[in-house]
Amino acid sequence: MLGSLNDAEDHVQEALLRAWRSRSSFAGRSTIRAWLYRIATNACLDTLRTHPERVIPVGDAASPPPSEIPWLQPYPDRLLDRAAASRDEPDALVIARETIELAYLAAIQLLPPNQRAVLLMRDVLGWPAADTAELLGTSVASVTSALQRARAALKQNRPEEPASWTPPAEPTAEERALLRRYMDAHARADAPALVAMMREDIRFTMPPQPTLYAGRAEVGEFLTEALRTVGEFRLVPTRANRMPAAANYLRAPGDTQFRALALDVLRFTGGQLAEITTFEPSLFGYFGLPEVWAAPGD
């Protein structure tokens, strides 16, 4: 709903506080999970309604690059795995991988709050229209209309139908190999090796900075300059939003330690690097990563 790891964590606390304060209102007509979803959804809607700047007013335009959504943040797979329902549970739900990826989170930031909530309840969580209407305090007709408008806006940037979305899976052997190549090239400061991995139309963004490098030549030029001037890199593999990622540590000239620099979330398509989204190191703690990296033997 919010597209931000920090905001999501804050709203978990707010939802639990609201649930505790209104615990006497739970009458057992629904599951505890559905009751908590209602509370959490309303907490998010309250924030979006009182902070209109958090909704990008571009109507049905295509999704902006992540750099134009300053609050966008990645979410660690280790926390997604912890929150996921067990497949042994009768009401277990496997969230489609595509609805966790950064491109999807960026795209839904275009939607008005109610449309965003309806889309997530219906297409991501798989709730029936009647249950969604009850949760939002509206009619089934309103839910159906909101879902149609949300899908139309989303389709301009995410043309896949929900039926084609795939559940989360372990990283493929190809993904792991490509991530190793990416990390090794950084460690060697080998910009040509990185450029060789890229699609011609690669995009490189750095939220919350309004920076967008587009195309192999432009991205390659930026990385060539960065690798030549800043120091020695050490990269550590991780996962974010069901995508391969690498935590960047830098030992600057004259320093004795590798310090947290940035988190790169990567999208590979057809065996090539299609997108790099780089985030600030303040999120490393959520990924279980230290601010200073000391590998064995260092």
End-to-end CA distance of the chain: 42
239 neighbors 245 (Cβ within 8 angstroms): yes
**Mean pLDDT throughout 74-102?**
77
- Pairwise pLDDT comparison (114 vs 165), residue with the higher score: 114
Q: Please give the full DSSP string across 222-236, using - where no structure is assigned.
A: HHHHHHHHS-EEEEE
Task: State how far the Cα of 117 lies from the Cα of 111, in Å rounded to an integer.
Answer: 9
Query: Span 215-223, mean pLDDT?
Result: 95
Q: What is the pLDDT of residue 58?
A: 53
Mean pLDDT rounded to a whole number for the chain: 88
Token pair for residue 29?
Answer: 């007509």
Given this model, what pLDDT does residue 88 score? 60
Average pLDDT in the 173-190 region? 94
pTM score of the predicted model: 0.87
Q: What is the largest CA-CA distance in the chain?
A: 65
Question: CB 1: neighbour CB atoms within 10 A?
Answer: 21
pLDDT tens per residue, range 58-73: 544 455 666 678 899 9
Q: Which two tokens stand for residue 82?
A: 């912890």
CA distance 114 to 136: 8
**Is CATH 3.40.718.10 correct for 173-293?**
no
User: pLDDT category, 282, cuts 50, 70, 90?
Assistant: very high
Residues 248 and 264: beta-carbon distance below 8 Å: yes
Q: Is the pLDDT of residue 180 over 70?
A: yes
Instruction: Return the SS3 of 198.
Output: strand
Instruction: For residues 6 and 206, give the distance between their C-alpha atoms in angstroms, rounded to a whole number.
Output: 17
CA distance 178 to 176: 6
Give mean pLDDT, residues 208-217. Answer: 91
Kind and range of the H or E run holding 25: none
- Domains in the chain: boundaries: 5-164, 173-293
